[in-house]
Chain A
Amino acid sequence: MSEFFAMNGYGFYVWSAYGVAALALVIEVRALRSRRRAVLEEARLVQPESAALTGAGE
C-alpha cells in the first residue's frame, strides 16, 4: 500500500497531478450546484409574464 503512494519515488509528482485534477472537478461540480440554487431562487422571485400580455387560455 505504501508502495502505491510512493510511486517508486515519484509520489509527490503523481499525487500532486491526480490530486489537483480531482480537486478541480469537485470544485466545478460544487460551484455549479451553488450557482443553480442561486438562479432557481432568483427565478422564484421574478413575476412571470402576465396572462394579460400573452393572451387568454394559458
Chain B
Amino acid sequence: MATSWFKYSSPASFYPLAGKMIPWFAAAAAVLAVAGLVIGLVVAPTDATQSDAYRIIFIHVPAAWMSMFLYVVMAAWSAAALGFNTRLSAMMAQAIAPTGALMTFIALWTGAFWGRPTWGTYWAWDARMTSELILLFLYLGIIALRNAIDEPRRADKACAVLALTGVVNVPIIYFSVYWWNTLHQGSSVSMTRAPSMAAIMLVGMLVMALAGWFYAIAVILARVRTIIVDRERGASWVAALREVRHA
C-alpha cells in the first residue's frame, strides 16, 4: 500500500487526482464562507468597545493565519524539492506563492482599514505589521525570482532556497507581539488558555479560517495543474488530454 501513495509524486498521476479534488474543496469553501459571513456580519453582536468596526476581524485574522501557514507549507514543499529533487514538490511550492502573497496583501489591507478607526492610523512600523509586510516581499520575491530564471529546474532550486531562508520570518511574525512592545495587540486565541473573546466571534473566525483553507487548497490545486501542463508540455500524456486536444 505504501507504494500506491508514491505514485502520486509523478506529475502525470497527480494531475487527475488534483482535478477530482478541486470541486470538493471549492464547494466546501463556498458553503463555509457563506456561513462565516452570516455569522460575522449578521449574527455576531456589535462590540462594546469597537462597535461594528471589529467585524473586519472575520477577514483579517483568517487571512493573516493563511499567509503564515501557506508560507510554511511552501517552505516544506521547497525542502522536499531540494531534498528529493522531485519536480512536483517544486511545482507545489511554485503554485502556493501567488495565493500566499494574496492572503498577505488581504491581511495587510484589512488590518490597515481596521487600524484607522481604532488606532487612528492605517499603518505603523511596529514589529508585527513590518514583519508581515516583509512576508509579502518574500512571496513577491520568490515569484519574481522564478520569472527571472529561464531554466525551470534552476528556478526550482533558487526559489526553494529563498523560500527556506525566509521561513524564519514566520515565527517572528507570530512571536512579535510577545517579544516587542507593539501597537498590534497580543493574541486572543491560544492553545493553552481559554480565548479572551466572545464564543460566537471565535466561531465566526474559525469558520472563515476553514473557508480560507479550503479556498486556498482548491486554487493551489488548480494552479499546480496549470503548472504541470505548462512544464510537462512535451509529454505524450499531456498531448492526449481532452482539454489540450480541444483547447
When A and B form their complex, what is the total count of cross-chain residue pairs whose Cβ atoms lie within 8 Å?
101
B128 contacts the other chain (CB 8 A): no
Contacts of B52 in A (CB 8 A): 7-10, 14
B-contact bits for A40-51, CB 8 A (1 contact / 0 none): 111110111100
Cβ-defined partner of A46 (8 Å) among B51, B102, B226, B239: B239
SS of B interface (majority): helix
> Which A10-47 residues have a C-beta within 8 angstroms of B?
10, 13-14, 16-18, 20-21, 24-25, 28-29, 32, 35-37, 39-44, 46-47
Q: Is the CB of A13 within 8 A of B114?
A: yes
Of all chain B residues, which has the CB nearest A54?
Answer: B236
Q: Is the CB of A17 within 8 A of B233?
A: no
State how many residues of chain B have any CB contact under 8 Å with chain A.
Answer: 42
User: With A8-B51, A41-B247, A43-B229 in contact, is A17–B236 under 8 Å at CB?
Assistant: no
A-contact bits for B19-59, CB 8 A (1 contact / 0 none): 00000000000000000000001100010000111011001
Cβ-defined partner of B238 (8 Å) among A29, A35, A36, A48: A48
B184 contacts the other chain (CB 8 A): no
User: With A13-B53, A14-B55 in contact, is A49–B234 under 8 Å at CB?
Assistant: yes
Q: Is the CB of A29 within 8 A of B226?
A: no
User: With A29-B219, A35-B226 in contact, is A40–B109 under 8 Å at CB?
Assistant: no
Tell me, in angstroms, the Cα distance from A14 to B243 when the chains sit together: 41
Q: Is the CB of B223 within 8 A of A32?
A: yes
User: With A24-B105, A28-B99 in contact, is A17–B110 under 8 Å at CB?
Assistant: yes
Q: How far is the CB of B95 from chain A (nearest CB, A)?
A: 10
B230 contacts the other chain (CB 8 A): yes
Q: Is the CB of A17 within 8 A of B226?
A: no
- Interface residues of A toward B: which range? 20 to 34
B60 contacts the other chain (CB 8 A): yes
Contacts of A28 in B (CB 8 A): 98-99, 102, 219
B71 contacts the other chain (CB 8 A): no
A-contact bits for B83-106, CB 8 A (1 contact / 0 none): 000000000000000110010011
User: Could you jot down 6 A-B contacts, CB within 8 Å?
Assistant: A17-B60, A17-B109, A29-B219, A32-B223, A43-B233, A43-B238
Q: A14-B55, A24-B105, A24-B106 are known contacts; what are 9 more A-B pairs with Cβ within 8 Å? A: A8-B46, A10-B51, A13-B56, A18-B56, A25-B215, A40-B243, A43-B233, A44-B244, A49-B235
Give the A-binding residues of B (Cβ under 8 A): 41-42, 46, 51-53, 55-56, 59-60, 63, 98-99, 102, 105-106, 109-110, 113-114, 116-117, 215, 219, 222-223, 225-226, 229-230, 233-236, 238-241, 243-245, 247
